[in-house]
A and B are shown apart, each in its own frame.
Chain A
Amino acid sequence: MAVLDPVGTEKESALAAWWRHFRYVVSENPVTLLAFCLFGTFIVLALFGPWIVPFDPLASDTANALQAPSWKHWFGTDNLGRDVFSRVVVATRLDFMIAFSAVALSFVIGSMLGCLSGYYGGWTDRIVGRSIDTIMAFPLFVLAMGIVAALGNTVENIVYATAIINLPFYTRVARAEVNIRRHAGFVDAAKLAGNADARLLAFHVYPNILPPMMVQVSLNLGWAILNAAGLSFIGLGVRPPSPEWGIMVAEGATFIVSGHWWLALFPGGALMLAVFCFNLLGDGLRDLIDPQRRT
């Protein structure tokens, strides 16, 4: 009988299998392909933005202020003569950092709370549930404003505020999904195999709720970017002159009346594309992470 070596053979083929699966998911749905392409572009811009832009995003050149888009300045220049294209590209990193760290925070904390309350039920569920309800009772953007105003006007606090207002969604999705699977046959089987509660939750139940959570993550990323930009727009969080889409839209808004539309349009467009991309990404991410789709 051939000796089975699942570890050795699996490792090599796992990456190849994953890549094959990725290609299948992408080829199945052109919208997913578009979303992944957009996402890839944003990631490249976020990583290498400062090196690929033609101008220093902070260098002002008052002689060339408020120039319309041209071959030299693709997106035109702003009231201080800064290149709008460079600023939009460089801002990608900051906006994505805020969104990713906020969503990562709320994902980790939210899914932990949700798992506990869904699995144990009873008082754990009641306490977690009512605390989450309290957060939900506020208009979320106003709550975020309040948190940033109270904690201080810094980028970290924007991250915390965005994480807190996103927490309820993760907690609720995780709670509901764990609750369905709490009495599934494979959970009982894992108990028979000697898994104590903590292990059971972490290694058997939790991985199975990842697909629906991924959809939530993707939708939330778009929302978090919008939220961070919104806070900056009203003057909280990121401070000028650092390039950030929300501030750029806010600054550009005053110039729309005078006919300088490009100041607000391009950062606004970038924001829209980013949110659009994350919203489309959700289904693709779920298909990617769901083993049932793998054949």
Chain B
Amino acid sequence: MTAMPEIPLLAIKDLTVEFKTRGGVVEALHEVGFEVYKREMVGVVGESGSGKSVTAYTVMGILDRAGRATGGSANFGGFEMIGARERDLHELRGREASMIFQSPRTALNPIRKVGAQIEDVLLQHTGVHRRDAKQEAIELLAQVRILRPEQRYHAYPYELSGGMCQRVMIAIALACEPALLIADEPTTGLDVTTQKATMDIVRDLTSARNMAAILITHDLGLAARYCQRIVVMKQGRVVESAPTEVLFRNPLHPYTKKLIKATPRPDSRLEDLSDVAAEAGMAVVTKPSVAEADNPGRAPLLEVRGLVKEYPLHEAAERRKMIDRILRPNLTPPPSTFRAVDEIDFTVAAGESIGLVGESGCGKSTTSSMVTRLLDPTAGTILFDGEDISAIPARKFARHPLRAAIQMVFQDPTESLNPRFSAFDAIAEPLRRLGAPMDRAVMADTIAELAEMVGLPNELLTRFPHQLSGGQKARVGIARAIALRPKLLILDEPTSALDVSVQAVVLLLLDRLRRELGMTYIFVSHDLNVVRLLCDRVIVMNEGRIVETGNASELLSNPKVDYTRTLVESIPHFGQTPKAPQLKVVKV
């Protein structure tokens, strides 16, 4: 980095914010302070509840009404943002400092064309004439690398993908050439390849315009790839602030060390995460596995042959096809179905752990739904332990004896727990429905034992989901799934909604359970680094087909197919140094 200019663009000093809640006043920020200089991207990294978003919201003056800055200052180019009048702030936001948010689809007005939404900002904050606004908007769309910008100008948000919506948001944020851009988790919910494309745009455009940027993220790898300096936050305090390279080479604060350790890297092993787990109060038992993991002669537990799932593209098209068949029998009908899963075959051996990887829409979730028998396949067979379970309709499978043998851990621990069931009832539900009848005391003992296995304190069992933290909810979900001692457990992105340190604990827990109970795992995920920690073998899917299968670490280090290579290269991690921004971007 070149020498920093003397005066920072944004200087936050001793910022303290309090929130009024039902339980009294809570301090969300405690004397937070850091600086942002021109032409640099600063990463603010921390787990949920660390106050990283609250900092940004306070600076921009868009904090909830319940929150209040009780002390400190935020000086933005000589202007004091804390306690400034709303009118002045309004002028500033958008023109001098702008922000992009987590879910681009909800941040855009759904009933207006994206072009018009860009024009709005241009007309309001810049001197652009109404005549030229359209041209300007199209230009901006081109700058955020949206193909065919003249046509996309007329698109509505629902017609664009999540990544494209975020690009439109970036275009809106940059429309007035602000001096500072705050990006609050801009790539959450986007695929790794989309994430890379989006962040590349942010990096290139901000550096081309000599802007400063703040990247708020929970992903250390992402911050490492794009930021020159990183501020680590924990529970409303800044614990460490250093240039990226220094931070990773020589982290000073124990929390930073813990975060770095908990983040999976391409070369990290499951054992590396154990310190994090031990700190979280979870004993890590490294028992030899029950099922010999690398015995090639094992009988397959699951065999999938020619599995297909088709969805009708449009109901009307289907009806037209029916009419056509009667009126014009000689005409070949146009394809009216969409193949979400297109004739895939794979085998999972008993005791094996297999990863199912791909971007959203690749058919991995559809596949896992069919294997769990929540969804009926259009064609193909699923042999489980030699029995063809695809012949049993999904509706009937709930009462089938094999139901207990195939269970699942869901992606979103919040959404997958019934809000009206306590943790105890949630775990007891499969036992009550499918288990052998048992009296109350035995049931209570069984549940207590399950809770202990997943590391859930006993006193939490009477709580409802909204009274539990994300990690605790994840454990309830896992305890529920293993309650019936299934042979096959499908894990649908079980850690994607969790913080890295919680993720580390959950991954270790899953690995231990597999060895103790001799289960077989299908691990569905988009995160190759996480998959590799838990799985022996990986299946990569794209557009409903299997593109590559192979040994997990081999596939990661030496992908044979282009698609896998793109996927692997897009994963941000901090083994690599931040690339210098490319300055070859079209200047406005």
| A188 contacts B by Cβ under 8 Å | yes
Q: Could you say which residues of chain A place their CB within 8 Å of the CB of B464?
A: 291-292, 294
Minimum CB–CB distance from A32 to chain B (whole Å) comes to 16
Q: Could you say which residues of chain B place their CB within 8 Å of the CB of A192?
A: 372, 374, 403, 406-408, 430, 481
**Could you tell me if B415 and A195 are in contact, using CB atoms closer than 8 angstroms?**
no
Q: B179-216 toward A: CB 8 Å interface, digit per residue (1/0)?
A: 00000000000000000000000000000000000000
| B412 contacts A by Cβ under 8 Å | yes
Q: How far is the CA of A1 from the CA of B461 in the complex (A)?
A: 14
Q: Could you say which residues of chain A place their CB within 8 Å of the CB of B481?
A: 192
| A59 contacts B by Cβ under 8 Å | no
Q: How far is the CA of A5 from the CA of B268 in the complex (A)?
A: 43
Q: How far is the CA of A200 from the CA of B394 in the complex (A)?
A: 14
**Could you tell me if A292 and B419 are in contact, using CB atoms closer than 8 angstroms?**
yes
| B410 contacts A by Cβ under 8 Å | yes
**Could you tell me if A189 and B441 are in contact, using CB atoms closer than 8 angstroms?**
no
Interface residues of B in 361-410 (CB under 8 A from A): 372, 374, 395, 398-399, 403-404, 406-408, 410
| A190 contacts B by Cβ under 8 Å | yes
| B250 contacts A by Cβ under 8 Å | no
Q: Could you say which residues of chain A place their CB within 8 Å of the CB of B430?
A: 192-194
Q: How far is the CA of A188 from the CA of B368 in the complex (A)?
A: 12
**Could you tell me if A186 and B467 are in contact, using CB atoms closer than 8 angstroms?**
no
Interface residues of B in 429-465 (CB under 8 A from A): 429-430, 433-434, 440-441, 444-445, 447-448, 452, 458, 461-462, 464
Q: How far is the CA of A292 from the CA of B458 in the complex (A)?
A: 21
Q: How far is the CA of A221 from the CA of B480 in the complex (A)?
A: 41
**Could you tell me if A1 and B444 are in contact, using CB atoms closer than 8 angstroms?**
no
**Could you tell me if B448 and A3 are in contact, using CB atoms closer than 8 angstroms?**
yes
Selected from A6, A10, A193, A208, the residue in CB contact (under 8 A) with B433 is: A193
Selected from B404, B421, B458, B480, the residue in CB contact (under 8 A) with A4 is: B458
Please name the residue on chain B nearest to A293 by beta carbon: B466
**Could you tell me if A186 and B448 are in contact, using CB atoms closer than 8 angstroms?**
no
**Could you tell me if B447 and A185 are in contact, using CB atoms closer than 8 angstroms?**
no
**Could you tell me if A186 and B433 are in contact, using CB atoms closer than 8 angstroms?**
no
Q: Could you say which residues of chain B place their CB within 8 Å of the CB of A10?
A: 462
| A184 contacts B by Cβ under 8 Å | yes
**Could you tell me if A193 and B419 are in contact, using CB atoms closer than 8 angstroms?**
no
Q: Given A193-B434, A194-B398, does the pair A186, B417 have CB atoms closer than 8 Å?
A: yes
Minimum CB–CB distance from B519 to chain A (whole Å) comes to 15
Minimum CB–CB distance from A220 to chain B (whole Å) comes to 23
| A150 contacts B by Cβ under 8 Å | no
**Could you tell me if B416 and A189 are in contact, using CB atoms closer than 8 angstroms?**
yes
| B418 contacts A by Cβ under 8 Å | yes
Q: Could you say which residues of chain A place their CB within 8 Å of the CB of B403?
A: 192, 194
| A196 contacts B by Cβ under 8 Å | yes
Q: Could you say which residues of chain A place their CB within 8 Å of the CB of B429?
A: 190, 193, 195
| B22 contacts A by Cβ under 8 Å | yes
Q: Could you say which residues of chain B place their CB within 8 Å of the CB of A239?
A: none
Q: Could you say which residues of chain A place their CB within 8 Å of the CB of B458?
A: 1-2, 4
**Chain A interface residue count, Cβ-Cβ cutoff 8 angstroms:** 31
Please name the residue on chain A nearest to B467 by beta carbon: A295
Q: A176-202 toward B: CB 8 Å interface, digit per residue (1/0)?
A: 000000001110111111111101100
Q: Given A1-B448, A291-B464, A292-B466, does the pair A194, B410 have CB atoms closer than 8 Å?
A: no
| B411 contacts A by Cβ under 8 Å | yes
Minimum CB–CB distance from B166 to chain A (whole Å) comes to 25
Q: Could you say which residues of chain A place their CB within 8 Å of the CB of B419?
A: 186, 208, 291-292
| B420 contacts A by Cβ under 8 Å | yes
**Could you tell me if A189 and B410 are in contact, using CB atoms closer than 8 angstroms?**
yes
Q: Could you say which residues of chain A place their CB within 8 Å of the CB of B399?
A: 194, 196
Selected from B411, B421, B440, the residue in CB contact (under 8 A) with A7 is: B440
Selected from A188, A195, A208, the residue in CB contact (under 8 A) with B420 is: A208
Q: Could you say which residues of chain B place their CB within 8 Å of the CB of A200?
A: 398
Q: Could you say which residues of chain B place their CB within 8 Å of the CB of A146?
A: none
**Could you tell me if A194 and B418 are in contact, using CB atoms closer than 8 angstroms?**
no
Q: Could you say which residues of chain A place their CB within 8 Å of the CB of B447?
A: 4
Interface residues of A in 197-218 (CB under 8 A from B): 197, 199-200, 204, 207-208
Q: Could you say which residues of chain B place their CB within 8 Å of the CB of A199?
A: 433
**Could you tell me if A185 and B444 are in contact, using CB atoms closer than 8 angstroms?**
no
Q: Could you say which residues of chain B place their CB within 8 Å of the CB of A6?
A: 422, 424, 444, 461-462
Q: Could you say which residues of chain B place their CB within 8 Å of the CB of A7?
A: 440
**Could you tell me if B444 and A188 are in contact, using CB atoms closer than 8 angstroms?**
no
Q: How far is the CA of A197 from the CA of B393 in the complex (A)?
A: 13
Selected from B412, B418, B461, the residue in CB contact (under 8 A) with A208 is: B418
Q: B269-301 toward A: CB 8 Å interface, digit per residue (1/0)?
A: 000000000000000000000000000000000
Q: How far is the CA of A159 from the CA of B170 in the complex (A)?
A: 59
Q: Could you say which residues of chain B place their CB within 8 Å of the CB of A208?
A: 418-420
Q: Given A191-B398, A196-B398, A291-B466, does the pair A185, B480 have CB atoms closer than 8 Å?
A: no
Minimum CB–CB distance from B516 to chain A (whole Å) comes to 18
Minimum CB–CB distance from B366 to chain A (whole Å) comes to 13
Q: B558-582 toward A: CB 8 Å interface, digit per residue (1/0)?
A: 0000000000000000000000000
Q: How far is the CA of A1 from the CA of B451 in the complex (A)?
A: 12
Q: How far is the CA of A195 from the CA of B374 in the complex (A)?
A: 12
Q: How far is the CA of A236 from the CA of B214 in the complex (A)?
A: 71
Selected from B395, B415, B452, B462, the residue in CB contact (under 8 A) with A184 is: B415
Q: Could you say which residues of chain B place their CB within 8 Å of the CB of A190?
A: 418, 429
Q: How far is the CA of A295 from the CA of B415 in the complex (A)?
A: 19
Minimum CB–CB distance from B31 to chain A (whole Å) comes to 29
Please name the residue on chain B nearest to A290 by beta carbon: B419
**Could you tell me if A3 and B420 are in contact, using CB atoms closer than 8 angstroms?**
no
Q: How far is the CA of A185 from the CA of B452 in the complex (A)?
A: 24
Identify the interface centre among A1, A9, A10: most chain B CB within 10 Å of its CB: A1
**Could you tell me if A194 and B424 are in contact, using CB atoms closer than 8 angstroms?**
no
7 nearest CB pairs, A to B? A185-B416, A194-B433, A193-B430, A194-B434, A185-B415, A186-B418, A193-B429
Q: Could you show 19 A-B contacts with beta carbons less than 8 Å apart?
A: A3-B441, A4-B444, A4-B447, A4-B448, A5-B441, A184-B416, A185-B410, A186-B415, A189-B417, A190-B418, A192-B403, A192-B406, A194-B403, A194-B430, A194-B433, A195-B398, A207-B420, A292-B466, A294-B464
Task: For the A-B complex with A192-B408, A208-B418 known, give 18 more contacts whose Cβ atoms are closer than 8 Å.
Answer: A3-B445, A4-B444, A4-B447, A6-B444, A6-B462, A7-B440, A185-B410, A185-B411, A186-B415, A186-B416, A186-B417, A189-B477, A192-B403, A192-B406, A193-B429, A194-B403, A291-B466, A292-B464
